[in-house]
Amino acid sequence: MTLDDLGSRICILGPSGSGKSTLAVAIGRARGLPVVHLDQLHHLPNTNWRPRPAAEFVALHDQAILGESWVIEGNYSQCLPGRLARATGVILLDAKTLTSLFRYFRRAWFERDRCGALEGRRDSVNWDMIHHITMVTPPSRKRYRALFDEIALPKVLLANPRALADFYRATGLSRQQV
């Protein structure tokens, strides 16, 4: 499958730390598509990940999906049906819990400017996120995998870091930020 096969509105799903943000930026850069990071819409900038009021987040999300073209990364199940209705292609990163946890620690400790980060905030290790990755994410992974299997759109499953690396190579994408 090529990037062109996924169309001009690409939805990227997957657990925290799976590489959604980096992949979205790489695809956006390669295809000239605007990139939307749902964490940035869901949380208030310059806070410690404080959520916006729910109605405000939904309005921002719904405005974003009206665009002619986009790459949107993030899950936020409450808005997923509308996003999938507008999407022309889907990518699911199905990283295992240990992979997500390792990447979370790496980004919190070593990455100063990561794509998709909350404006005015640097990631730091906190128990809420560790709990989310280790306890909340495993059942969510199963739900998203089942949903992915039912999606009739062009789609790509990247089930592990090797598959993700192979996808970058096969599509000519670069993880480097410009």
Q: Which residue has the tokens 């295809």?
A: 31
- Which of these, 71, 57, 38, 48, lies nearest to 120 by C-alpha position? 48
Residue 176 falls within a domain, yes or no?
no
**Host domain of residue 140:** 4-170
Residue 9 falls within a domain, yes or no?
yes
The predicted structure's pLDDT at residue 95 = 87
Beta bridge partners of 32: none
Query: Quick one: average pLDDT of 7-26?
Result: 93
Distances (CA, A) of 69 to 112, 118, 177: 29, 23, 21
The predicted structure's pLDDT at residue 127 = 82
Residue 161, φ and ψ in degrees, nearest 5: -60, -35
- Structural domain count of the chain: 1
Residue 142 falls within a domain, yes or no?
yes
What are 99-157's pLDDT values in tens digits?
888 887 887 777 666 565 556 556 666 788 788 888 988 888 889 999 999 999 999 99
What are 26-84's pLDDT values in tens digits?
999 999 999 999 988 998 887 777 889 999 999 999 999 999 999 999 999 999 999 99
The predicted structure's pLDDT at residue 50 = 84
The more confidently predicted of residues 14 and 108 is: 14
pTM over 0.75: yes
Residue 121 falls within a domain, yes or no?
yes
Say whether pLDDT at 97 is over 80: yes
CATH number of the domain enclosing 46? 3.40.50.300
Residue 175 falls within a domain, yes or no?
no
The predicted structure's pLDDT at residue 159 = 92
